[in-house]
Amino acid sequence: MQFIDLQKQYQVLKQGIDRRIEKVLSVGHYIGGEEVKELSEKLASYCGTKYCLTCANGTDALTLALRCFNVSRGDAVFVPDFTFFASAETPALEGATCVFVDVDERTFNIDADKLEEAIKEVLKEGKLNPKAIITVDLFGLPANYKAIRKIAEKYNLPIIEDGAQGFGGSIDGKKACSFGDISTTSFFPAKPVGCYGDGGAVFTDNKDYYDLMCSLAVHGKGAYKYDNVRIGYNSRLDTIQAAILLEKLDAFEKYELTDRNRAAAEYTERLSKKYVAPEVPQGFESSWAQYTLILKDERERVELQKWLSERNIPSMVYYPKPMHEQSAFTGLPDRNDKLKVSSELSKKVLSIPMHPYLTADDIEKICNALLEFKDNE
């Protein structure tokens, strides 16, 4: 059994994917081109934003977004403490100081009340200039944008939605990657929609940001390509990856997202009697980048992982260390007493297999093993 079964997905989509790759090879156009254009348009339309620019990966997407707000030294950027490193790495790379904010213990996403507390704290101290909020749609569930948007407006801060895991999720029918002033996603193979290598995208309704990111992603190009008007990057999505993504996005829209939700619903129905299952608030929909249980403690997690692996069931810990415990961030002002939920979660979370090609038998086997473990404890 695979944790995320990309081989099975390829077997199902093989014909379409192979045909699209062959077309790129026969045309011989490997950067940009028809596929990239078609994909950006489809992505924007799927997420309901005016603009979408594809780029090299989800980390670059965050960097492109941060550059639009001139995030730099002396700035504070608010980042959830419980996330993948890139959410915090990118503002730090711009020279800004990350202010980590604790997360909600049931949704794993940034806690809006604690976000406002952190902003007030920075303002009161007067050392850093609050510049932007990075939200993360962790494990596929959009963050609480109603509350976060209010705070962003109150303190006049832009929201960068890190939708690397959130693509496909929604709130009241509005799709993820449309909630930020700029939103980003990743097409790393294991994400809800992944390519066969690295890939990413930025989304916005703002033409100025879009134009700036188009320039930044191609060496800071000006209207005339060989007049470079700013220092940028080489951050493009390859044509072959775009071709693969066109086929995968189609399957995601047609049935994969539904099947992810079906698998998650079955897990929750069977497991919630004995486990703390992930919570999806009213009106929200997750794209289930991960299906994550909260266990009693670290000891139970070690034992359960062993129990599962003896039964050939893979499981993963996302994430074993919150941002404030990362070695790269030692030396930041100590707010550790305010980050207790993230610290606790990092000891207790366990993600179990999640992908749209899980069979009823797979789910049965996984649930039985998890329930038997509790009976044996």
Question: Which secondary structure element, helix H or strand E, spans residue 139, and what is its range?
Answer: none
* Closest CB to ligand PLP among residues 9, 87: 87
Shortest Cβ 187–ligand PLP spacing (Å):
7
CB-CB contact of 61 with 202 (8 Å) = yes
Footprint on residues 200-219 left by ligand PLP (CB under 6 A): 200
Q: Is 81 in the site for ligand PLP (CB under 6 A)?
A: no
Closer residue to ligand PLP (CB): 84 or 275: 84
Helical (H) or strand (E) element with 225? none
At a CB cut-off of 8 Å and minimum separation 6, what does 218 contact?
A: 225, 232, 234, 235, 236
CB–CB of 276/371 below 8 Å? no
Q: Which amino acid is at 313?
A: I
* Separation of alpha carbons 39 and 242, rounded Å: 6
Q: Is 198 in the site for ligand PLP (CB under 6 A)?
A: yes
- Interface of this chain with ligand PLP, residues 87 to 126, rule: CB under 6 A: 87
**Does residue 177 touch ligand PLP according to CB under 6 A?**
no
**Minimum distance of ligand PLP from residue 183's CB (angstroms):** 12
353 and 1 Cβ atoms separated by less than 8 Å? yes
> Pairing mode, if any, of strands 159-162 and 170-171?
unpaired
Q: Give yes or no for residue 164 binding ligand PLP (CB under 6 A).
A: yes
Smallest distance from ligand PLP to CB 195, Å: 10
Would you count residue 84 as binding ligand PLP (CB under 6 A)? Answer: yes
CA distance 198 to 58: 8
Question: Judged by CB, which is closer to ligand PLP: 74, or 320?
Answer: 320
- DSSP E strands in 230-347: the ranges are 284-285, 291-294
Q: Does 188 bind ligand PLP (CB under 6 A)?
A: yes
> Residue 195 to residues 239, 247, 248: CA-CA distances in angstroms?
11, 10, 8
Minimum distance from residue 36 beta carbon to ligand PLP (Å): 17
Strand-strand pairing, 200-204 and 182-186: antiparallel
Binder among 4, 65, 98, 136 for ligand PLP (CB under 6 A): 136
Closer of 271 and 290 to ligand PLP (Cβ):
290
Residue 165 within binding range of ligand PLP, rule CB under 6 A: yes
Binding status of residue 83 toward ligand PLP by CB under 6 A: yes
Under the criterion CB under 6 A, does residue 86 sit at the interface with ligand PLP?
yes
Q: How far is the CB of 62 from ligand PLP (least distance, A)?
A: 6
Among 59, 144, 178, 204, binds ligand PLP (CB under 6 A): 59
- 4 in contact with ligand PLP (CB under 6 A): no
Nearest to 236 by CA among 61, 23, 51, 21: 61
Total residues contacting ligand PLP by CB under 6 A comes to 15
290 is an interface residue for ligand PLP by CB under 6 A: no
Residue with the shortest CB distance to ligand PLP:
58
Name the segment binding ligand PLP (CB under 6 A); options: 8-16, 35-43, 78-86, 173-181.
Answer: 78-86
Q: Tell me: does residue 169 bind ligand PLP (CB under 6 A).
A: no
Are 275 and 301 in contact by the 8 Å Cβ rule? The answer is no
CA distance linking residue 233 with residue 218, whole number of Å: 6
- Cβ–Cβ under 8 Å, residues 248 and 194: yes
**Contact present, 139 and 164 (Cβ < 8 Å):** no
Length of the chain: 377
Give the footprint of ligand PLP on this chain (CB under 6 A). 57-59, 83-84, 86-87, 136, 162, 164-165, 186, 188, 198, 200
